[in-house]
């Protein structure tokens, strides 16, 4: 598109790239049953990972083998719809879970409405992260810049969030971008699920925005022991990380950062 740039002593028309935002409807199919379970506004791309990561993070599925097929919707007499993704399960009936008792609507701003409490996550079967994974403070400080340099779509648009997975030495494993923070995390977790890489026990996840309850929950479901963000965490995110043994760092900028839960995994000297 073209936009008018207004600056001191200069006004000009220039070409620009904008982040794409389109709705995606997620449908769940099992046997003869089907149901729409979410509508999200996302950046097109890695849609199957987004669907798988969403279902896994919400506890609808527990493992990759429960998914029979993921496909864009094709209805009789109509062209394929790239804004509708159907996930077919191997079971003969839809799971009877609280997350399927209402119609979700998610946006790039708020994530899922009506999130479960910390207590209900324990009841769902999520376990505290374990293991003796550690990362040096030096490596942790370098991760935001590595994330930023790997954001190809951000370079074009300046308007996308990212979630990136690193090993304990600071090497980039995978990165996903989206206009929504929660979608970026779902795409990352969905990639790991579909590739058979869960749990992500010896890894670090870094997000480009703040650390919300929803993002920490999704990382927890994937078994990630260390969560870092370039901005602030919410109080509920801190409580969740503390309750489930996850190391949570925030305001990761330059030489400084804060640790809000389980600092024992960060080697400070």
- Which residues belong to the active site? 110
The rounded distance, in Å, linking the Cα atoms of 263 and 238 is: 12
**Which neighbouring-strand residues pair with 126?**
none
d(CA 187, CA 178): 9
Closest of 18, 65, 59 to residue 194, by C-alpha: 65
Nearest to 58 by CA among 102, 109, 9: 102
User: Pairing relation of β-strands 67-73 and 81-89?
Assistant: antiparallel
CB-count burial class (<10 Å; 0-12, 13-18, 19+) for 249: buried
DSSP codes, 143-200: HHHHHHHH-HHHHHHS--EEEEEEETTS-EEEEEEESSHHHHHHHHHHHHHHTT----
How buried is 29 (Cβ within 10 angstroms: 0-12 exposed, 13-18 middle, 19+ buried)? middle
- Phi (first) and psi of residue 118, to 5 degrees: -60, -40
121's tokens: 């996550």
Tokens representing residue 263 in the block: 């600092």
Q: How many CA atoms lie within 13 A of 187 on its CB side?
A: 23
| Distance separating alpha carbons of residues 40 and 175, to the nearest angstrom | 20
């Amino acid at each position: 598109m073209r936009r008018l740039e207004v600056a001191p002593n200069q006004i000009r028309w220039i070409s620009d790239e904008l982040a794409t935002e389109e709705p995606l409807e997620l449908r769940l199919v099992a046997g003869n049953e089907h149901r729409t379970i979410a509508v999200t506004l996302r950046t097109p791309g890695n849609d199957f990972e987004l669907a798988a990561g969403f279902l896994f993070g919400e506890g609808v599925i527990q493992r990759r083998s429960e998914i029979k097929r993921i496909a864009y919707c094709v209805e009789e007499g109509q062209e394929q719809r790239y804004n509708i993704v159907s996930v077919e399960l191997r079971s003969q009936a839809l799971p009877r879970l609280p997350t399927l008792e209402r119609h979700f609507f998610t946006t790039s701003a708020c994530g899922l409405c009506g999130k479960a409490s910390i207590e209900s996550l324990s009841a769902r079967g999520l376990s505290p992260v374990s293991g003796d994974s550690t990362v040096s403070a030096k490596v942790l400080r370098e991760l935001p810049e590595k994330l930023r340099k790997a954001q190809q779509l951000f370079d074009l648009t300046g308007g996308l969030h990212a979630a990136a997975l690193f090993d304990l030495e600071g090497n980039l494993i995978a990165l996903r971008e989206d206009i929504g923070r929660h979608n970026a995390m779902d795409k990352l977790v969905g990639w790991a699920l579909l590739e058979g890489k869960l749990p992500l026990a010896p890894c670090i996840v870094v997000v480009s925005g703040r650390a919300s309850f929803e993002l920490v929950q999704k990382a927890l479901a994937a078994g990630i022991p260390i969560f870092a963000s370039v901005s602030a965490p919410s109080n509920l995110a801190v409580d969740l990380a503390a309750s489930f043994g996850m190391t949570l760092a925030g305001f990761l900028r330059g030489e400084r950062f804060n640790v809000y839960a389980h600092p024992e995994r960060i080697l400070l000297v």
